[in-house]
Homo-oligomer: A and B are copies of this chain.
Amino acid sequence: MSETFCVEPIGWVRCERTEVLDDGWDTIPATIELDTDRFNADAFLGLEGFSYVEIIFLFDQVEEDKIVTGARHPRGRKTWPKTGIFAQRGKNRPNRLGATICRVVSVYKTRLRLAGLDAIDGTPVIDIKPVMSGFLPRGDVAEPDWAKEIMSSYW
Chain B residues whose CB sits within 8 angstroms of the CB of A38 once the complex forms:
2, 69, 94
We find that the number of chain A residues with CB closer than 8 angstroms to chain B is 76
Report if A15 contacts B (CB, 8 A): no
The residue of chain B having its C-beta at the shortest distance from the C-beta of A127 within the complex is B97
Give the distance in Å from the alpha carbon of A83 to the alpha carbon of B130 in the complex.
Answer: 11
A135 touches B89 (CB 8 A): yes
- Decide yes or no whether A133 CB sits under 8 A from chain B: yes
- Mark out the residues of chain A between 81 and 139 whose CB falls within 8 Å of any chain B CB in the assembled complex: 81-89, 93-95, 97, 99-101, 103, 116, 124, 126-139
Residue A134 contacts which of B103, B127, B155 (CB distance < 8 angstroms)? B155
A151 interfacial by beta-carbon distance below 8 Å: yes
Cα A133 to Cα B140 with chains together (Å): 10
Question: Which of B45, B130, B142 makes the CB contact (< 8 A) with A49?
Answer: B142
Residues of the B chain whose Cβ atoms lie less than 8 Å from the Cβ of A137: 51-52, 101, 103, 131, 136
Given A50-B147, A134-B148, answer yes or no on A44-B141 (Cβ-Cβ < 8 Å): no
Sorted nearest first, the 10 A-B pairs with minimum C-beta distance are A134-B151, A45-B84, A42-B70, A47-B87, A51-B142, A86-B128, A49-B144, A46-B83, A45-B71, A42-B71
* A residues adjacent to B (C-beta < 8 A): 2-10, 35, 37-40, 42-47, 49-54, 56, 58, 60, 69-71, 81-89, 93-95, 97, 99-101, 103, 116, 124, 126-144, 147-148, 150-151, 154-155
